[in-house]
A and B are shown apart, each in its own frame.
Chain A
Amino acid sequence: MRAIDAGILICHECHQLNRHDPEAHGQTCSRCGARVHPRRPDSLARTWALLITAAILYVPANLLPIMTVNSLGKGAPSTIMGGVVELIHFGMWPIAAVVFVASILVPTFKLVGIALLLFSVQRHQPMSAQQRILMYRFIEWIGRWSMIDIFVIAILVALVRFGNLASIEANMGAVAFASVVVLTMLAAITFDPRLIWDNTESDEQA
């Protein structure tokens, strides 16, 4: 039985149970004072909006250079994939794999994964709740690791300051990439995982 069917709302912030008061507009949690809702308001619409914005920015994030390495007057712009290829050339396979997973696989997987979750909740796709909740937890957990590339740029820009000999500057691709990471993290937060179980129950009853 779901808490919502018993007229009980869970506070999003402190997880306290509250009896639903149909009269009250903007009911607040009896323990911490946060607004309580049966489900996060407009969860699907908001998540779609964030996801689509992220998908649009995903294109410049991968095509534009994220940084330029200036060495002896020559500038070599590099994209995210370029950075991975460079690490492979150095023979640094494990680190190359980490960066490849964090910067290329994870953002792609997140975009596709959240879209799949939204789609399966809306269209009642044949994907079990267990599979969907596993995917949701994985997406929620892994999102932050895509920031690796942004931090690497910050470290390199600060360290490689040797004037004409060698210097590194950040480029617009980094802005787009950082936006994709933040937007997909926000999308994972706005998505209400209880929706996954809601339509599992209605499917079972049908």
Chain B
Amino acid sequence: MHDTADSRELSEFPLEELAACHECDLLMRRPHLGDGERAECPRCGYELFSYRHSVVPRSLALVLAALLFYVPANFLPIMQLNLLGQTTQDTVWSGVLALYHSGMGGVAVLVFLCSMGIPLLKLLCQLFVLLSIRLDIGRSYGLLFYRIYQHLREWGMLEVYLMSTLVAIVKLVDLAEVNLGIGLACFVGLLLTQIWLEVTMSPQQIWEALAGKEDSLARN
């Protein structure tokens, strides 16, 4: 190891001047970043920090937009099917109900959580966190909600659901007449705002703001 002299010193730095990679445990000096800059782990390439300009107001706008899309996306028809004069409709919610009524309770719960429950919970957690930073109230609850959000992240599967809609359309299009509904447009809107929001809300900045560090607040 070429940097043994350096590394013996590393452990003596105060924690604020150090950074460690969450994925490979490499310890290093904390880089000083300006707005719009990001840092990656030199060993495994994991993104360590990324600082963006005015994160809180931009994220708040995106959360509110996503919440506006949420209800129409889930309760308005995604598509209609015509077969010999009979018409049926499908919404995200009706898919859950249909599975439940066909005796697949467990799968229905899973579909509900991944496509409706967890995406909503994630948005509500983000809203609460952003409000608690913005209005400077309930920071400790903000920390708790942001921890919950980090655990839920992976289980919201809106983009997978959209792909499934595409597969279902292809499967049905030869058998019957398929009409796309307004719900699908809202669902795409919800998905896009949610992805944009996840890119905008850089976790390191949010954690620092929640912990009440002055310099990170100034950036926001």
Residues on A lying within 8 angstroms of B by beta carbon are 1-8, 10, 12-19, 31-34, 86-87, 90, 92, 95, 98-99, 102, 129-130, 133, 144-145, 147-162, 165-166, 169-170, 174-175, 178, 182, 185, 189, 193-194, 196-198, 204
Contacts and interface: CB of A to CB of B under 8 A. Distances in A.
A151 B170 contact: no
Interface string B142-161: 01101100110011010011
5 contacts: A3-B25, A15-B203, A152-B171, A158-B97, A159-B81
Nearest to A196: B24
Interface residues of B, number: 71
A99 to B, nearest CB: 6
Interface in B13-54: 15, 18-20, 22-27, 43-45
Given A148-B163, A151-B111, 20 more contacts: A1-B26, A2-B26, A7-B11, A13-B151, A14-B207, A16-B207, A17-B19, A32-B146, A33-B144, A149-B164, A152-B164, A155-B95, A155-B165, A157-B98, A157-B102, A166-B83, A170-B103, A185-B154, A193-B24, A197-B26
Interface stretch (B63-71, B84-92, B119-127, B191-199): B84-92
Contacts of B211: 16, 31-32
B96 A6 contact: no
A6 B97 contact: no
A157 B207 contact: no
Nearest to B161: A151
A133 B102 contact: no
B98 A161 contact: yes
Given A6-B11, A14-B147, A160-B88, A175 B104 contact: yes
